[in-house]
Amino acid sequence: MLTVDFSRFPLAPGDRVLDLGCGAGRHAFECYRRGAQVVALDRNGEEIREVATWFAAMKEAGEAPEGATATAMEGDALALPFPDESFDVVIISEVMEHIPDDKGVLAEMVRVLKPGGRIAITVPRYGPEKVCWALSDAYHEVEGGHIRIYKADELLAKIREAGLKPYGTHHAHALHSPYWWLKCAFGVDNDKALPVRAYHKLLVWDIMKKPLATRVAEQALNPLIGKSFVAYATKPHLPRVAEEAAVK
């Protein structure tokens, strides 16, 4: 289940991609399949080991084209272990709402992104997230949980302040918002509640089968209750005079 829409976020074979806070690796795997040179980074060592295992399995199965590479590594989003201008593409999906110093993370992403490079940022959408917070303190008051709710304008302002140029936005995963509302209403750790189990079964069926009816429904509902807000931006090239001054 991808949150980034690669029809709006072009990726070329050979692009060097950083999936920052990769989690289980869903976007990193897609980039690998598309022929990129992928680095999946997360602070969770257990998840990184699992992502590395899947990378190896994908290579063995021939799922990635020739020339594609994939590396999984532990790291700190506030102190990325890469030189300046190392990546053509940076993806950070459902991560920034967890990090107190979100401006510091943005600064690090901009630092490692090449001029002309592209960045995709996804966060929980304001409206659906407010419902979750109102229904359950346990949803967000946990170690490593969500510490803020972004309004779209606020996130875009921070993106611009970091020196990036936004070029598109959209919402995603409308069918997932009711699931999380049910989880929060019945208890975030209570997977046995019948409405939660039934809706989860529906989501799994939808992800596996991808029926036209639910695809159309989700597209229609995304602008209203999409669970995620997605923003795309580029890192501008410095004007030639500024480039020359920087060299000097």
CATH code, domain with 158:
3.40.50.150
pLDDT over 70, % of the chain:
96
Please give the pLDDT value at position 248: 52
Structural domain boundaries enclosing 116 = 76-173+226-235
Q: What is the mean pLDDT of residues 29-35?
A: 97
Q: State pLDDT tens for residues 2-20.
A: 999 999 999 999 999 999 9
- d(Cα 66, Cα 41) in Å, to the nearest integer? 22
Looking at the domain assignment, is residue 148 inside a domain? yes
Looking at the domain assignment, is residue 114 inside a domain? yes
Q: Which helix (H) or strand (E) holds 222?
A: helix 212-225
Looking at the domain assignment, is residue 204 inside a domain? no
How many domains would you assign to the chain?
1
Looking at the domain assignment, is residue 189 inside a domain? no
> Is residue 236 predicted with pLDDT exceeding 50?
yes
pTM score, whole prediction: 0.92
Looking at the domain assignment, is residue 14 inside a domain? no
Confidence of residue 136 (pLDDT cuts 50, 70, 90): very high
Q: What is the mean pLDDT of residues 100-126?
A: 97
Looking at the domain assignment, is residue 6 inside a domain? no
Looking at the domain assignment, is residue 151 inside a domain? yes
Please give the pLDDT value at position 243: 47
Looking at the domain assignment, is residue 51 inside a domain? no
- d(Cα 180, Cα 135) in Å, to the nearest integer? 10
